[in-house]
A and B are shown apart, each in its own frame.
Chain A
Amino acid sequence: MNASKRAIPWGALGPWIALAITCLFFTVQTERFLSGTNLSLVLQQVMVVGVLAIGQSLIILTAGIDLSCGMVMALGGVVMTKFAVDLGLNPYLALACGLGVAVAFGLLNGLLVTRMKLPPFIVTLGTLNIAFAITQIYSEAQTITDLPEAMTVLGNTFNLGSTEVSYGTVAMLALYALAWFVLRETAPGRHLYAVGNNPEAARLTGINVDKVLVIVYALAGLFYGIAAMLSVARTGVGDPNAGQTDNLDAITAVVLGGTSLFGGRGIILGSLVGAVIVGVFRNGLTLMGVASVYQTLITGILVILAVAADQMSRKGVR
């Protein structure tokens, strides 16, 4: 992909068009869809998967994949809440510990992929199980309640006109903007695309591929930790069972957003659109009174369409 060309490839617009059509559809079907409150709610409902998807996007752009994201998030959430409630730690310190644990797991993934040359699929399958087990054992499968106020601040809302917007939503949007800027406009961002596109060529141009990969995985861990903060803020508890379906939901968001699973191609804002599309469907179908099993059906169809569109636009460029 020629990063110096500023022209937007057709493939990138696909998710936005899909989102627009979906919103139009639901607006026509039910009067309750297109309201500030409802749309703000949808953003709050997708913010956890949305932030997970930032980390996942970075990894998929390097032609890797991370199956452990949801479990690492759950572990981070349990650590930060248990440290604050059981050990009485200062809430901000507890939050930092939770983030630290998530980054540590990301680092572990990165080191296993680069030092042991193990495929990311296998590595993260293993760390997924390890993180899950540690979470269940440490929390004794109990949710942690009665959290200090500081931990749920991101769930609070402020008024934008007559709509309530949550701070967590703003945080998610800000993180996406930051990630987009870094990937598009900075050298590290270009290095990431290069590594995903062709690691050998990247190495030959002097990029330290292993260093890039380790940093990407560790950074993804940081995003999973932030997602844990958002999850804790939204539900008000530390839940050891959180995130179990978020592993695949995050990957779905990335794929729906047009990022190629083969690496090197994709725009990170697409993952945000992917996450929002899934949330919009869940919200819209509930408003219409349609059975939830159809959401699963539609998500599956959308994923196939998204990957097919990516394949076809790839052929077009060649």
Chain B
Amino acid sequence: MKLSTSLILSTLTLAVGGAFAADAPVIGLITKTETNPFFVKMKEGAQQEAKKAGAKLMTATGKKDGDTASQITALENMAAAGAKTILITSTGDAIIPTVKKVQAKGVQVIALDSPFDGADALFATDNYKAGVLIGQYAKAALGAKPAKIAMLDLFPGHPVGAQRHNGFMTGFGLKANGATSNELSSTPETVCAGDTDGNQAKGQTAMENCLQKNPDINVVYTINEPAAAGAYNALKKAGKEKGVIIVSVDGGCQGVKDTAAGKIAATSQQYPLKMASMGVAAGVEYAKTGKKVSGYTDTGVTLIAAKAVAGVDSKDTKVGLDLCWGKK
């Protein structure tokens, strides 16, 4: 059922594409899902940039995280419809053979947000740096107190989860793996770790169990803002929300609001709109000059905090709300 739905969607976008002038550069954008505000913002950014540059944008999406089948179909259809550049937020390595296939036909394939082997280029957040920034903030905010840290992760083996986790520890001053590792480090200071799948209810459960294990946890690293909201809930129920520093990554509008409200101490904001507009610009360049873009381009990350701490550069939540993605 999902295959036929995406086929119909792809066919419709192709039909629209056929109506456009043959000279306009044709660029495809494939995101992980239709509804995650992160990807909604990305699509907006791509559409704005495409309009400005006079390019034609085709879009497609998977049904949910991990739906590589829809992305594979979209890659093939967009290449067949004349897209010379395809931007894709990979939802799994299963797309790699199809990427190679369309690249052999001369299509430039650029990875946005999620890296995969064989992409011509990557425009993404430096997730390691995002972790480092919040680690530095947490250390400075904690001061001289001995650290007891809870690590609320995504799930085992995910590169973004590992980068943010290890980056946080490095920024905090603890020994941890580098940016290329997919393994989660731990030290005596990280007294507890739990998986959240990036969702609020599981974040709450993980925090509750960690508090049972170590009632005196004073720092909580969270993989994203929904998990942080769950952690805050658990701390509030235990009456501990005032003395614990929660840090997170994402910079979505709900998360920045939580930061302004004091639930999250600091969060690293990332910029999906920038990823998309840089991607479209690269597509236009390739169509006009035949020059492919390559390598990794950092689309930037900003530390957003309600209260600044000494020695760590951060922007306040007003700036965060201006730049945030999602519903304001």
Binding site for B on A (CB under 8 A): 30, 32, 37-38, 41, 44-45, 48, 125-126, 129, 132, 136-137, 140-143, 145, 231, 234-237, 239, 241-242, 244-245, 282-283, 286-287, 289, 291-293
Contact between A239 and B1, CB atoms less than 8 A apart: no
Binding site for A on B (CB under 8 A): 1-2, 34-37, 40, 63-64, 155-156, 192-195, 197, 199-201, 204-206, 208-210, 212-213, 226, 229-230, 233, 254, 326-327
Contacts of A234 in B (CB 8 A): 201, 204
Contact between B226 and A129, CB atoms less than 8 A apart: no
A126/B212 contact (C-beta < 8 A), A136-B35, A137-B35, A286-B194 known: no
Within the complex, what minimum Cβ distance (angstroms) separates A128 from chain B? 10
Contact between A287 and B194, CB atoms less than 8 A apart: no
Known A234-B204, A235-B233; 9 more pairs at CB < 8 Å: A41-B212, A48-B201, A132-B64, A136-B35, A143-B226, A283-B212, A292-B155, A292-B156, A293-B156
Given A235, A282, A286, A292, which contacts B201 in the complex, CB threshold below 8 Å?
A: A235
Contact between B201 and A242, CB atoms less than 8 A apart: yes
Within the complex, what minimum Cβ distance (angstroms) separates B263 from chain A? 11
A32/B200 contact (C-beta < 8 A), A142-B326, A143-B226, A143-B254 known: no
**Closest residue on chain A to residue B327 by CB atoms:** A142
Contact between B205 and A45, CB atoms less than 8 A apart: yes
Contacts of A245 in B (CB 8 A): 197
Contacts of B212 in A (CB 8 A): 32, 37-38, 41, 283, 286-287
Instruction: Show 13 residue pairs from A and B whose CB-CB distance is below 8 angstroms, ordered by the A residue.
Output: A32-B212, A44-B208, A140-B327, A141-B37, A142-B37, A241-B200, A242-B201, A245-B197, A282-B209, A283-B212, A286-B192, A286-B210, A286-B213
- A235 CA / B206 CA spacing, docked (Å): 13
Within the complex, what minimum Cβ distance (angstroms) separates B143 from chain A? 26
- A41 CA / B254 CA spacing, docked (Å): 27
**Closest residue on chain B to residue A286 by CB atoms:** B209
Contact between A231 and B201, CB atoms less than 8 A apart: yes
- A45 CA / B210 CA spacing, docked (Å): 13
- A266 CA / B305 CA spacing, docked (Å): 54
Contact between B206 and A286, CB atoms less than 8 A apart: yes
Given B35, B40, B200, B206, which contacts A143 in the complex, CB threshold below 8 Å?
A: B200
Contact between A282 and B205, CB atoms less than 8 A apart: yes
Contacts of B156 in A (CB 8 A): 291-293
A287/B209 contact (C-beta < 8 A), A137-B35, A234-B204, A235-B200 known: yes
**Closest residue on chain B to residue A155 by CB atoms:** B237
Within the complex, what minimum Cβ distance (angstroms) separates B255 from chain A? 11
Contact between B192 and A235, CB atoms less than 8 A apart: no
Within the complex, what minimum Cβ distance (angstroms) separates A140 from chain B? 6
Within the complex, what minimum Cβ distance (angstroms) separates A253 from chain B? 15
Given B192, B205, B326, B327, which contacts A289 in the complex, CB threshold below 8 Å?
A: B192
- A245 CA / B202 CA spacing, docked (Å): 10
Within the complex, what minimum Cβ distance (angstroms) separates B200 from chain A? 5
Contact between A141 and B208, CB atoms less than 8 A apart: no
- A237 CA / B254 CA spacing, docked (Å): 12
Contacts of B233 in A (CB 8 A): 235-236
The CB with the most chain A CB atoms within 10 A, among B36, B201, B326, is that of: B201
Given B2, B36, B195, which contacts A129 in the complex, CB threshold below 8 Å?
A: B2
**Closest residue on chain B to residue A132 by CB atoms:** B64
Contacts of B205 in A (CB 8 A): 45, 282
**Closest residue on chain B to residue A291 by CB atoms:** B156
Within the complex, what minimum Cβ distance (angstroms) separates B126 from chain A? 25
**Closest residue on chain B to residue A136 by CB atoms:** B35
Given B35, B195, B208, B213, which contacts A140 in the complex, CB threshold below 8 Å?
A: B35
The CB with the most chain B CB atoms within 10 A, among A125, A136, A137, is that of: A136
**Closest residue on chain A to residue B34 by CB atoms:** A136
Given A48, A283, A293, which contacts B209 in the complex, CB threshold below 8 Å?
A: A283
Within the complex, what minimum Cβ distance (angstroms) separates B237 from chain A? 8
**Closest residue on chain B to residue A239 by CB atoms:** B200
Given B34, B193, B201, which contacts A239 in the complex, CB threshold below 8 Å?
A: B201
Within the complex, what minimum Cβ distance (angstroms) separates A302 from chain B? 18
Contacts of A231 in B (CB 8 A): 201
Contact between A289 and B37, CB atoms less than 8 A apart: no
**Closest residue on chain A to residue B198 by CB atoms:** A241
Contacts of B210 in A (CB 8 A): 286
A126/B1 contact (C-beta < 8 A), A140-B327, A241-B199 known: yes
Within the complex, what minimum Cβ distance (angstroms) separates A187 from chain B? 38
Contacts of B193 in A (CB 8 A): 289, 291-292
**Closest residue on chain B to residue A166 by CB atoms:** B237
**Closest residue on chain B to residue A44 by CB atoms:** B208
Contacts of B213 in A (CB 8 A): 30, 32, 286-287, 289
Contact between A129 and B209, CB atoms less than 8 A apart: no
Contact between A235 and B230, CB atoms less than 8 A apart: yes
- A162 CA / B226 CA spacing, docked (Å): 32
Contacts of A289 in B (CB 8 A): 192-193, 213
Contacts of A291 in B (CB 8 A): 156, 193
The CB with the most chain B CB atoms within 10 A, among A30, A137, A283, is that of: A283
**Across chains A and B, which 4 residue pairs bring their CB atoms closest together, nearest first?**
A286-B209, A136-B35, A141-B35, A292-B195
Within the complex, what minimum Cβ distance (angstroms) separates A1 from chain B? 36
**Closest residue on chain A to residue B209 by CB atoms:** A286
Contacts of B226 in A (CB 8 A): 143, 239, 241
Contacts of A41 in B (CB 8 A): 208-209, 212
